[in-house]
């Protein structure tokens, strides 16, 4: 049970990192298109700095310390719901766990990406979700996180 919780948290961390990296890369590509000097080191340092600010920092922007960072919290809630539904569905449907949980992760990110503008008055809070290709890449990030979780569950129970 402890291993399952650990892998669940690792899948959230992986997905948060991928989503943050996707958003950072798209922003830096936009800056590069404006003839700004963006080097490989800028890409690498920006990705890790954004990840630190997004997931690990006790203060994000103007939020007090007691409020957890928004993105990992949303991914946690989305994965919790979708993975629970997947766990129930796997009792009746025979499919490999890595694919089932991958689809569940993609569905969780789909709802996060498409419901955030509804909650935040039409504003995409994730900069990487402002284009259809950006939305698709975020959903793929959710699939990767869910696939990681499902592949680890296969190994635990074998």
CA–CA separation, 96 and 112 (whole Å) = 25
What single-letter DSSP state applies at residue 131? S
Residue 12: how many other CB atoms lie within 10 Å? 24
Q: For the chain, what is the domain count?
A: 1
pLDDT at 102 over 70: yes
Least confidently predicted of 17-21, 24-28, 76-80, 123-127: 123-127
By mean pLDDT, which of 21-35, 64-78, 144-158 is the weakest?
Answer: 64-78
Average pLDDT, the chain: 82
**Domain assignment of residue 107, given as a range:** 2-157
C-alpha angle 24/28/34, rounded to 5°? 155
Segment 8-23 shows an average pLDDT of: 87
The whole-number pLDDT of residue 158 equals 47
DSSP letters spanning 59-104: --TT--TTSPPHHHHHHHHHHHHHHHHHHHHTTTS---HHHHHHHH
Is residue 82 within 8 A of residue 49, CB to CB? The reply is no
- Contact between residue 134 and residue 128 where contact means Cβ atoms under 8 Å apart: yes
Quote the pLDDT of residue 157.
Answer: 63
- Higher confidence at residue 133 or residue 53? 133
Stronger pLDDT, 100 or 30, i.e. the higher one: 100
pLDDT 10s digits, 47-78: 777 766 655 544 444 444 444 467 788 889 99
The predicted pLDDT at position 156 comes to: 66
Angle at 8 (CA atoms; ends 109, 21), nearest 5 degrees: 50
Is 68 buried (19+), middle (13-18) or exposed (0-12) by CB count in 10 A? middle
Q: How far apart are CA 108 and CA 112, in angstroms?
A: 6
DSSP secondary-structure letter at 39? -
């Amino acid at each position: 049970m402890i291993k399952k919780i650990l892998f669940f948290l690792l899948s959230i961390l992986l997905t948060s990192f991928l989503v943050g990296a996707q958003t950072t890369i798209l922003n830096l590509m936009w800056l590069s298109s404006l003839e700004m000097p963006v080097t490989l080191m800028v890409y690498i340092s920006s990705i890790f700095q954004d990840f630190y600010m997004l997931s690990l920092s006790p203060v994000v922007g103007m939020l007090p310390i007691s409020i957890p960072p928004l993105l990992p919290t949303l991914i946690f809630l989305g994965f919790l719901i979708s993975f629970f539904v997947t766990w129930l569905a796997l009792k009746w449907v025979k499919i490999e766990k890595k694919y089932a949980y991958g689809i569940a992760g993609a569905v969780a990110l789909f709802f996060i990406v498409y419901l955030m503008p509804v909650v935040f008055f039409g504003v995409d809070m994730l900069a990487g979700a402002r284009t259809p290709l950006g939305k698709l890449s975020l959903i793929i990030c959710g699939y990767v996180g869910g696939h990681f979780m499902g592949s680890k569950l296969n190994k635990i129970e074998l």
